Structure 1
Amino acid sequence: MAANFLNGMTLLLVYQLVGEVSTRLLHLPVPGPVLGMLLLFITLLLHKRVEPVVEAASSALLSHLSLLFVPAGVGVMVHINRMGEAWLPITVALIAGTLITLAVTALVMQGVHRLLAKGAADES
């Protein structure tokens, strides 16, 4: 069990490293971990299954997901004065980001719903 977890974590970190190196070499405007996650997603799509080692590592990480919010909370507490000075841009960014996320999510859901309805009609 521990070997599966370590192998899975190593694999996830290798994908992150490949993403980081790729973005630096190619001067891409995308964070390395995001590119690494995209590469992992493509790999999972091509294999059409999740390897047991990746499943073990991802399950362990997800079970402790709440711990990943601790650094963000500490950052807020450390920079509370700075946040007080810039409350207006922060508030505008939060509201605009939330509204954009809601709109994009609604549009994606409409598109998925149409595709599923079209697929069901084609099968009939």
Structure 2
Amino acid sequence: MLYGLAIILGFLVAGEAASNFLHLPLPGTVSGMILLLVWCLLRKGADQRVAQAATGLLRYLGLFFLPAGAGLLELSGLLREQGAAMAAVLVLSTAITLLVTALVLAWLLRRRNPQGDYPSSGEGEA
């Protein structure tokens, strides 16, 4: 377990260093996750000890959201001022994401079956 945590924390530190030294527009945590992903792909799978440590951390994932909730309480004044604009952006971006996802799915289905003869849902059949 300690080996797995050391590897995960090592990639976290490497990601922070890479983001700072290379002036990447990514947070160090994201850079570290990308480095960990590349390492796992090169090894053709995650090390069993790293997977065990990650599973142990995932068990407590909900606790990692507590600081974000506390931050929301701290910024309640800003939310009061700009909450409507934030909500509008969230609704609009969600609608755009759903629309683009539906269009890509339709495109992929047409590409997979160009004749367009999809199985029916069973409505209207005798």
2:119 aligned residue: none
Secondary structure, in 3 states, of the residue corresponding to 2:24? coil
| Of 64, 67, 77, the match for 1:68 | 64
1:10 aligned residue: 6
**Aligned-partner Cα distance in 1 for 2:97–2:25:** 21
**What's the offset of the Cα at 1:92?**
2.6
Deviations 1:32-82 (A, max 9, x none): 111111111111111112112211111011111111111111111222222
1:44 matched to 2:40? The reply is yes
Q: 1:107 to 1:86 in 2, by over 3 A?
A: same
1:83 matched to 2:84? The reply is no
| Of 12, 16, 23, the match for 2:19 | 23
Runs of 4+ in 1 over 3 A off after TM superposition: 99-115
**When you count helix as a share of all residues, which structure comes out higher?**
1
| Number of equivalent positions | 113
2:49 aligned residue: 53
**Aligned-partner Cα distance in 2 for 1:74–1:57:** 27
**Aligned-partner Cα distance in 2 for 1:29–1:83:** 26
Q: Which runs of 5+ in 2 are unaligned?
A: 113-126
**What's the offset of the Cα at 1:93?**
2.8
1:102 matched to 2:94? The reply is no
- Most deviating of 97-106 and 47-56: 97-106
**Aligned-partner Cα distance in 2 for 1:108–1:51:** 35
Q: Give me the TM-score of the superposition, normalised by structure 1.
A: 0.74
